[in-house]
Structure 1
């Protein structure tokens, strides 16, 4: 099959999990490599027998026997959440998930102190909340940017260094958020993290090269391009690079040739967004009519919102990523049952018709200005028609995987051509 990088082109929740599960079940795939985000990910996989798991840190190919998960140095590893996830997988009959897991020693650790800080900071914003999963992702990154001694996975193998770094982190939290929620003491946290190090194989930079040599690898992204830390609509973004960049950096570091992995962009046949922020094609009637069984409103994340397919936003995602080799379109069963669905071809902004949004190098000021501009945008619609054909037409990109339901049995695959001719059959 060859190596494949899976990235969500929207605001997340497009179906990366079910796509990765399909790729791994059809295989052969040696491993899934997670290359951004952390325990806030919610990649839903439903098996043909009805079993369901929301993958957060384990790769979404874990239901396929033998497929390994590698948490790369770009992941934010939460050992406590990982243990809970492993427990749920064990209850579903996957007893060896931890045995098939490796974690890069340089990956940052997400702790209860990061999580508590995240919730305190978001609560303080009141009505101006940015939207958050409340899992400490942004705080993990921001703390590491300001503190060279931020705890990392490798520290779990060094009890003295781990306690020192956790103590500094806990002191920072208590000093910054004196009225925040209670947090565990350092000894309890260190004990749990040491148990993680005893149970999970912690590896160095050369591990990925060995994985790539062992067989096909699927790189599984989290969240979506429109939430990217540099290219998303600031400040309603994540502290994570959600494009193909991290995966391609890992491939280059492992000695893989440029273009050795196919780029697969995932989108729904209609648009969704979880939480606040610009959403030009939002339609309250669709939100009411199309509830998602795996995406409910959350205390920290906010409401799950639904709208019509947005070709302008998707063109922007393709532009900032440099394009894809093929598209995977999910929820085509919904599109087929809803003749009222539409596609936004352009925006009207200040009397001007706009079909493409401006892009550029990382610049949060420009992204904030774009966010303000989108608040004035009005969608210019056309009928959606046959969704997969419309998507190929408006995005000028082939649809190579069609999903008509939640399981691998609902997938219909075409052929994804790259410089090395990767087949998704």
Structure 2
């Protein structure tokens, strides 16, 4: 029996997709299910052969051949994006969406692109998610079960998630979206937020997971946090400095420059830990924090500078750092606890 929830501590873009992919491989997970608002946030990972995988509707745990992928009932679905990802990744027969998902229409996308408040003030991706979510709350949105093109993928994802998680020897990984400090109700930075909450509890709710089945909450902490769009970013460095240091980042789908911080705000990290209750921490982008970590894959390669950071993060969160991310490739990850066998 196992359900692992993956959640971002701060403002997203922390490597949750890679962390989920790593966990599906490590635990031979049967199911990887997407939580979050919808297609307004991307996930990416570079495979061992150098192939860059980018998605924003389906989780990317399918990199494990035995893992099915799904979208929870609390998540919006864009039929065009879904069809593209199923085709690109060859996921016919392995992808599911819940029939109760709200549907993003072309009209929602057009409305957001014309909404200057969202585009200019909030810094929204303008992918139709906010307007679709508003229609869903007002009970006038279309649901996935009512769209003929989605029929091959429709099932009761909540039932499937709980069945897998409750069964001995089977594992489900829940992929949270965006970041805790972008949560509509919990961020101190409203209106510079997303249109839903991004905590571990919100992710469980998005996929209909019984909390009693949760075995771990993995909180992903980016060693040098980033933020896209408007809103405060403590310890922010200049874009020129990030470029000069070779650690500049850009959005997976929008291509927008990610504003980058020198390091962690530990008061915010403590608050994120309070909200999420992590049992494990994945510390990511350690190669940006210390270039000597680039591509390291064994525990002996963890540098003193990163070990010091691990200690500070563990003290702030009250949870052990069990994974250290060291580069863009899927295998650029160090497990600080033994990998299960059998």
> Residues 51 and 258 (structure 1 numbering): CA distance in 2 closer, same or farther, change over 3 Å?
same
Give the counterpart of 2:159 among 206, 226, 242: 206
**2:137 paired residue number:** 145
> Residues 204 and 395 (structure 1 numbering): CA distance in 2 closer, same or farther, change over 3 Å?
closer
- How far 1:154 moved relative to its partner? 1.2
- How far 1:286 moved relative to its partner? 3.9
- How far 1:210 moved relative to its partner? 2.8
TM-score, normalization by structure 2: 0.85
Where do 5+ consecutive residues of structure 2 fail to align?
294-304
> Residues 265 and 205 (structure 1 numbering): CA distance in 2 closer, same or farther, change over 3 Å?
closer
Q: Secondary structure at the match of 1:267?
A: strand
Equivalent residues of 2:31, 2:161 under 8 A apart: no
Task: Summarize the alignment of residues 151-300 of structure 1 with structure 2, pairs less than 5 Å apart.
Answer: 151-156=142-147, 194-197=148-151, 199-203=152-156, 205-213=158-166, 215-232=170-187, 233-249=189-205, 256=210, 258=212, 260-284=214-238, 285-289=240-244, 290-292=246-248, 295=251, 298=254
Q: Secondary structure at the match of 1:32?
A: strand
**2:298 paired residue number:** none
Separation (CA, whole Å) in 2 of partners of 1:305 and 1:235: 18
Give the counterpart of 2:328 among 374, 384, 406: 406
> Residues 216 and 124 (structure 1 numbering): CA distance in 2 closer, same or farther, change over 3 Å?
closer
RMSD: 2.8
- How far 1:76 moved relative to its partner? 0.5
Separation (CA, whole Å) in 1 of partners of 2:340 and 2:52: 27
Where do 5+ consecutive residues of structure 1 fail to align?
90-94, 157-193, 340-382, 417-421
Separation (CA, whole Å) in 1 of partners of 2:274 and 2:172: 25
Separation (CA, whole Å) in 1 of partners of 2:6 and 2:341: 12
- How far 1:273 moved relative to its partner? 0.5
How many residues are aligned here?
Answer: 325
Q: Secondary structure at the match of 2:218?
A: strand
Separation (CA, whole Å) in 2 of partners of 1:126 and 1:68: 35
**1:19 paired residue number:** 19
Q: Secondary structure at the match of 2:268?
A: helix
Separation (CA, whole Å) in 2 of partners of 1:195 and 1:403: 39
Separation (CA, whole Å) in 2 of partners of 1:112 and 1:130: 21
Q: Which has the larger radius of gyration?
A: 1
Task: Summarize the alignment of residues 15-414 of structure 1 with structure 2, pairs less than 5 Å apart.
Answer: 15-89=15-89, 95=90, 97-121=91-115, 123=116, 127=120, 129-146=121-138, 148-156=139-147, 194-197=148-151, 199-203=152-156, 205-213=158-166, 215-232=170-187, 233-249=189-205, 256=210, 258=212, 260-284=214-238, 285-289=240-244, 290-292=246-248, 295=251, 298=254, 303-309=257-263, 310-321=265-276, 323-337=277-291, 386-414=308-336
Moved more, 309-318 or 9-18: 309-318
> Residues 27 and 116 (structure 1 numbering): CA distance in 2 closer, same or farther, change over 3 Å?
same
Separation (CA, whole Å) in 2 of partners of 1:201 and 1:224: 27
Equivalent residues of 2:2, 2:166 under 8 A apart: no
- How far 1:331 moved relative to its partner? 1.1
Q: Secondary structure at the match of 1:328?
A: strand
Separation (CA, whole Å) in 2 of partners of 1:297 and 1:202: 28
Separation (CA, whole Å) in 1 of partners of 2:156 and 2:318: 41
Deviations 1:134-188 (A, max 9, x none): 1111111112223x231111111xxxxxxxxxxxxxxxxxxxxxxxxxxxxxxxx
Q: Secondary structure at the match of 1:48?
A: coil
Equivalent residues of 1:274, 1:305 under 8 A apart: yes
**2:296 paired residue number:** none
